[in-house]
Structure 1
Amino acid sequence: MNDFWNTILDFAETTTIRVGKQLMQDFGQVQASQKADGSLVTKSDKWADQEIRDAIVSTFSGYGILSEESDQTYPDKEWCWVIDPLDGTTNFTRGIPIWSISLGLLYRGTPIFGYVYAPPLNQAFHGFWAGSSGLTTPTGAFLNNRPIHTSSDAPSKNHFFNLCSRSTGIIQPGFPCKLRMLGVASYNFLTVATGAVLGGIEATPKVWDIAGAWVIVQAAGGTWVSLNSEPFPLSPGIDYSDRSFPTMVVSNSDLVTVFTPFLESVKF
């Protein structure tokens, strides 16, 4: 890796570790309030958001920032960080140890680097995905700096598929896998990247929920299926606060036709 990509990776690692240490002190100890869209927010979300934004401004002059808790309109910048300072706030407030800090670095509106850190699990995921950007990037997806890859297994009742609370319509006779619900969009998809799960669905993820995982899943060999509109590239001047991007992720393209028929009962 050249110095630029080393700087990106080092920044993501050191920033999320530092922020994660404080969030672990608050974990299960803070009260949440409800935002206009019905989701929850805590003082910890807001603190983490400010810390990460300040770190970006001091390290990457001229880069844009899109964040769940503050700047929700995509800026007219070639490079932009998209951040979810605390993905899984409900789990966080209830003391359930599945939540994460998610960062995605976008070039001309499309993610090319993703970093997701889950402090309670001591798991740090990252990946690079050049796609059609024309950039020369490192390759691969990693968990705690060890390479990861999606599973090549065929579905069975001994394999898992993740869903969210708004996608329970897939629970039908004949579904080929056991079902799990984790409550965190990024982690839902990252378990596919590690090979632990064959697929997952999120009915209403926002761009900050998926910007980091989008890179890591594809770098790990997974297939990303947009069930409505494509999330990327993002467009300057657009407010993404009320835009959701229903998504299914599967471990390989052969599984798309296996799981798609069960989506007909899910409303997006």
Structure 2
Amino acid sequence: MRDFWDRVLNFAETTTGKVGNDLMADFGQVQPSEKADGSLVTQSDKWADREIREAISGVFPDFGILSEEGDTCFGGDEWCWVVDPLDGTTNFARSIPIWGISLGLFYRGTPVFGYVHLPPLGQSFYGFWYGDTGLDGPQGAFLNNRAIATSADEPSGNHFFSFCSRSIRLFHEPFPCKIRLLGVASYNFLMVANGVTLGGVEATPKIWDIAGVWPIVRAAGGTWVELQSTPIFPLNPGEDYGDRNFPTLVVAHGDLTGVFRPLVSELVTF
């Protein structure tokens, strides 16, 4: 199965690299429009989505595809790519250099591989996490091919925690860490995986916001806390995930769950 995972990794690297290079030409040059849920979309999002879906169909013709700008219904395929062609559209449109392309590969409804490429930063994260799927293969989480891991530190005034724009509206002191807002759901959680922050919360992420980062966070040693009553994975065949939110807390290690969950549970809008 090693050849399969090499092919998956090579495809993710090549495809996100090509699309990312082309998106850089549009960076800060396009006008966004507002979708029904209040989020922004540009022609670049739609173009990148088509490019990635076509690339997947060419290399993995038997795999399903679920994407933000395409089909949002999970077809129940054994293997399925979940695509966010441009995570951080507001940053992209407003010339803030934190945005990326996120791919998650699902096996029987659960993500087992994730790849997130951030062209303006020159950063590519990826990770393998098989859980109880019965699969095996490469292990670990990586940034630019260097192994990464979450922090083992305890909170202090010199550590960081990231909020999203929706959750920060209800924030109140005191809080055990310095606060940051990065504006990109995937990058928020990747900073936990990379040991930069101790935690992060997202109030309204969609499935494509978390599909690519879930395996990376888990492989890096992070703890994923679902702030809802039902588990996210495995996905349900036939269900439309276009409008579903998955409020989520990610922390660097399990001991921090008891520190941060009581604080952010009140902040997240279900």
> Counterpart in 2 of 1:231?
232
> Counterpart in 1 of 2:123?
123
- How far off is 1:227 after superposition? 0.1
> Counterpart in 2 of 1:139?
139
**Pair 1:23 & 2:7 matched:** no
Instruction: Give distance in 2, aligned partners of 1:72 and 1:261.
Output: 32
> Counterpart in 2 of 1:210?
210
- How far off is 1:173 after superposition? 2.5
Q: Residues 169 and 96 (structure 1 numbering): CA distance in 2 closer, same or farther, change over 3 Å?
A: closer
Instruction: Give distance in 2, aligned partners of 1:116 and 1:86.
Output: 10
- How far off is 1:150 after superposition? 0.1
For residues 143-182 of structure 1, the C-alpha deviation after alignment (integer angstroms, 9 at most, x for no partner) is 0000000000110000000000111256332310000000
Instruction: Give distance in 1, aligned partners of 2:161 and 2:211.
Output: 21
> Counterpart in 1 of 2:94?
94
State the secondary structure of the residue aligned to 1:112: strand
**5+ unaligned residues in a row in structure 2: which ranges?**
none
Instruction: For 1:261, give the aligned amino acid.
Output: P
- Superposition CA RMSD, Å: 1.0
**Pair 1:73 & 2:86 matched:** no
> Counterpart in 2 of 1:110?
110
Q: TM-score, normalised by structure 1?
A: 0.98
Instruction: For 1:256, give the aligned amino acid.
Output: T
State the secondary structure of the residue aligned to 1:215: helix
Instruction: Give distance in 2, aligned partners of 1:36 and 1:257.
Output: 36
**Pair 1:263 & 2:264 matched:** yes
> Counterpart in 1 of 2:247?
246
> Counterpart in 2 of 1:43?
43
Does the Cα contact within 8 Å between 1:169 and 1:265 map onto a contact in 2?
Answer: no
Instruction: Give distance in 1, aligned partners of 2:172 and 2:35.
Output: 33
- How far off is 1:36 after superposition? 1.4
Q: Residues 172 and 254 (structure 1 numbering): CA distance in 2 closer, same or farther, change over 3 Å?
A: same
Question: Would you say how many aligned residue pairs link Structure 1 and Structure 2?
Answer: 268
- How far off is 1:236 after superposition? 1.1
For residues 192-213 of structure 1, the C-alpha deviation after alignment (integer angstroms, 9 at most, x for no partner) is 0000000000000000000010
Does the Cα contact within 8 Å between 1:78 and 1:109 map onto a contact in 2?
Answer: yes
**Pair 1:163 & 2:141 matched:** no
For residues 48-99 of structure 1, the C-alpha deviation after alignment (integer angstroms, 9 at most, x for no partner) is 0000000000000210000000110001210000000000000000000000
Instruction: Give distance in 1, aligned partners of 2:239 and 2:225.
Output: 22
Q: Residues 85 and 264 (structure 1 numbering): CA distance in 2 closer, same or farther, change over 3 Å?
A: closer
- How far off is 1:264 after superposition? 4.2
Q: TM-score, normalised by structure 2?
A: 0.97
Does the Cα contact within 8 Å between 2:103 and 2:114 map onto a contact in 1?
Answer: yes
> Counterpart in 1 of 2:7?
7
Does the Cα contact within 8 Å between 1:172 and 1:262 map onto a contact in 2?
Answer: no
Instruction: Give distance in 1, aligned partners of 2:169 and 2:258.
Output: 17
Instruction: Give distance in 2, aligned partners of 1:226 and 1:170.
Output: 19
> Counterpart in 2 of 1:82?
82
- How far off is 1:35 after superposition? 1.2
For residues 196-235 of structure 1, the C-alpha deviation after alignment (integer angstroms, 9 at most, x for no partner) is 0000000000000000100000100000000013211111
Instruction: For 2:137, give the aligned amino acid.
Output: T
